[in-house]
Amino acid sequence: MGKTIYDIVHVEDDDFTRQEMKRAVEETGLTYLGLSSLQGLESALLEAEGKIFLIDGSFPRIERGENEVLGGEAADISKKYCKNARIIIHTLDPGWFIELREKYEVLCKVDYLPLSKFVKEVIQK
């Protein structure tokens, strides 16, 4: 049996933000997978693929762990499993990811509110 394919895979440690993003994505008729840690992402990619990855700049390595700046590592892992996926790192401090701008999109979090507007813009690109 093949992998489950999601339109949007979202790595975000904040439960409220994941819930709101899920609502916004599903309102457009797309499929959504929300994850809260690097470990969760790695486990999910054994059974799932994503077309677009929205990756927070910092989140825990393991469930309920301390936040670390893992956006770049998560983007690299996502690309390894889903070579044709679009990768977007969203962060409060895009300066952390200047070196990744050549490989991935980097957005400041305040640039994507409201979420419903952001989701529509992402899927139109």
Pairing status of strand 86-91 against strand 105-108: parallel
- List the alpha helices (DSSP H) in 1-125: 15-27, 38-44, 71-81, 115-124
In the chain, % of residues over pLDDT 90: 55
Mean pLDDT of all residues in the chain?
A: 87
Q: Which has more confidence, 43 or 63?
A: 43
Distance from C-alpha of 53 to C-alpha of 33, rounded to nearest angstrom: 10
Residue 116 has pLDDT above 80, yes or no: no
11 closest CA partner among 46, 80, 61:
61
CATH match of 4-110 with 3.40.1160.10 = no
Distance from C-alpha of 93 to C-alpha of 73, rounded to nearest angstrom: 16
Domain ranges within the chain, ordered by starting residue: 4-110
CB 71 within 8 A of CB 96: yes
